[in-house]
Structure 1
Amino acid sequence: MNLYPVLATSDPAASAAFYREHFGFEPVFAADWYVSLRHPSGAEIALLDAGHETLPAAHRGRTAGGMLVNIEVPDVDAVARRLAEADVPVVQALRSEAFGQRHVIVADPGGVLVDVITEIEPDAAFADAFTG
């Protein structure tokens, strides 16, 4: 089985360019209404024009706002600097969380929140919550 998100967006090309430029995804299929992207790690994501006829009529025009996509990286500090230099909108500044993440949250061109994460050692209060 393969599982990947398809994000409805008003501009699939702009959103695809964002994931290509900032996170190294490459297109495996590209049309004006749909772009499928794959990362060298095997991760996949796709972008769909929110108004396209493949969506049920009652759902057309809705974008993926409210969606949060996590991307784990080895060095979030370096990625955060690079994103800031590229003027990517930061919606939550780089910070460390007691539950074991250091992360920054940015917004893609379609308004999807992208949580860029590096795992760190969790505080003792959260250590037992990890099961794997």
Structure 2
Amino acid sequence: MLRSCYPVLCTPDVAASASFYRAHFGFEPTFEADWYVSLRHPDSGDELALLDTAHPSMPAGYGEAARGMLVNLELDDVDAVAARLEAAGVPVVQALRSEPFGQRHVIVRDPGGALVDVITEIPPSPEFAEAFGIDA
């Protein structure tokens, strides 16, 4: 029986990455070491962990920063969060925009290089409504 599922992002600077998720998104630590931090969000209970790319528990040849994936964080007001992130100097890699598939979002980069897609759901366009089972 599956008891839990959460991403573990490899990062060369665990402390900086943990600070990013705590400061900008309200995650709280459930375990902290210099090589690994486990985070949980107090509102949703969602979890995220960070692992030092150089830690010996990483298989040889795989100690790289997270790449090729997005961490999706669905929030109530992406416009306000996007403005706050930009004002804080968080690197924006895709500007705030609305998508026809039902998302308004901005994509930022965390200190370890992982992409964070900050999302607020919006009504999808008629061409995507059917995929969601919504009458257009």
Q: TM-score, normalised by structure 1?
A: 0.96
2:28 corresponds to 1:35: no
The question of whether the paired residues in 2 share the 8 Å contact of 1:9 and 1:64 is answered with yes
In 2, Cα distance between equivalents of 1:131 and 1:12 = 41
The question of whether the paired residues in 2 share the 8 Å contact of 1:96 and 1:102 is answered with yes
Q: CA deviation at 1:58?
A: 2.7
Q: CA deviation at 1:12?
A: 0.7
| 1:54 aligned counterpart, secondary structure | coil
Q: Name the counterpart of 2:89.
A: 87
Q: Deviations over 1:13-56 (max 9, x none)?
A: 10000000000000110000000000011010000001101111
Q: Name the counterpart of 2:61.
A: 58
In 1, Cα distance between equivalents of 2:116 and 2:84 = 14
Q: Structure 2: which amino acid aligns with 1:79?
A: V
Q: CA deviation at 1:131?
A: 5.0
In 2, Cα distance between equivalents of 1:79 and 1:29 = 26
2:64 corresponds to 1:44: no
* CA distance 1:31–1:131, shift in 2 (3 Å): farther
Q: CA deviation at 1:65?
A: 1.8
The question of whether the paired residues in 2 share the 8 Å contact of 1:65 and 1:110 is answered with no
Q: What fraction of aligned residue pairs are identical, expressed as a percent?
A: 69
Q: Structure 1: which amino acid aligns with 2:104?
A: R
Return structure 1 stretches of 4+ with deviation > 6 angstroms: none
User: How many residue pairs end up in the alignment?
Assistant: 131
2:120 corresponds to 1:118: yes
Q: Deviations over 1:66-115 (max 9, x none)?
A: 22100000000010011011010000000000000000000000110000
Q: TM-score, normalised by structure 2?
A: 0.93
In 2, Cα distance between equivalents of 1:44 and 1:106 = 19
